[in-house]
Amino acid sequence: MLSQVSANIVASSAAIVVAVVLLLPQAEAARAFFVFGDSLVDNGNNNYLLTTARADSPPYGIDYPTHRPTGRFSNGYNIPDLISQALGAESTLPYLSPELNGEKLLVGANFASAGIGILNDTGIQFANIIRIAQQLELFARYQQRLGALIGADQAEQRVNQALVLITLGGNDYVNNYFLTPLSARRLQYNIQDYSVFLISEYRKILLRLYELGARRVLVTGTGPIGCVPGELATRSRNGECAEEPQQAAAIFNPLLIQMIQGLNQDLGSNVFVAVNAMQMQYDFITSPRAFGFVTSKVACCGQGAFNGVGLCTAASNLCPDRNVYAFWDPFHPTERANKIIVQTIITGSDKYMTPMNLSTIMALDSKI
């Protein structure tokens, strides 16, 4: 019975990807794609760094085409991969990959690094990671390399016409504010004031992206961080979403949308698009069976309560069917959950995407 359900789920997931590709203008296949942020979107940059924030060992990548770990914090594809597929393009390479040269530069680049946040003091326990200011510096360096390949004017045009994804915020709570009961940021701010501070710093990052030429930027906030297996294992009462992290996410995401609306108004253009990752994930967390999952509380890979304690390793518990789990490890969605998120990014209503979804962006930009 379960195997038949899994077969139906795999078939429906494939149909989602095919349908989404057909929705987007095929001319967009040539559009460059740039990615910034944390482990939710890291394609393997941390593989090249001396840090503990890595996903370069089994069973990570078990469902990737090579069935080997790639540095993605997933059993298979992550969100940037699936957006690239929907655009009809190949996945962006990590900026630190030695393969990123020549024609590969035209595809774009992934600058994301697991463990980072909006703030520089987020993720200090991971030591050598590419903080967001450094990611933006690498973006400027990338543009110089692209200019040397196709000329400065063509490089500038390619960056202006590119799609950009930036994912920040979750680590600023999980790996900073809530990291210890008496963290420095907890002593400095209450949750409301800390969230306002984060949004003010995020705004500066987005403005810097704009200065560097980004003109179409998908901006995600935090997911429902109190509901992930890692938080359920350490903070939950009776398996309910952890109260304080959920409170933080409920404050942060509306502030992010409000900030983006104001920033677009100041710029006189809908440069930035708010992606309500909190609502997207909360849908399948609260009603997992409606989305074909058997659980949204227990991670596929892990140990302890909810498989949410420690790291996902070769010694961890591992579920046999990743398609029926919403979470791959204590903090990251499965490939199938990522497909649901990306489908919503592309076709979702203003409940999820403000001021428009990705299919609308592509239709508008194809006329320019």
Q: Which residues contact 166 (CB under 8 A, 6 or more apart)?
A: 35, 36, 37, 205, 206, 209, 217, 218, 219, 220
Catalytic option among 38, 42, 81, 329: 329
283 is catalytic: no
The Cα 334–Cα 72 span in angstroms is 11
CB atoms within 10 A of CB 19: 13
Catalytic option among 39, 74, 113, 236: 39
Torsion of Cα atoms, 270 then 145 then 78 then 29, to 10°: 60
DSSP state of 90: P
332 is catalytic: yes
Long-range CB pairs of 122-125 (<8 Å, 24+ gap) are 122/171, 122/172, 122/175, 122/176, 123/53, 123/171, 123/175, 123/176, 125/52, 125/175, 125/179
Catalytic option among 195, 296, 332, 359: 332
Q: Which amino acid appears at position 65 of this protein?
A: P
Cβ 331 vs Cβ 9: under 8 Å: no
39 is catalytic: yes
**Catalytic positions, written as ranges:** 39, 329, 332
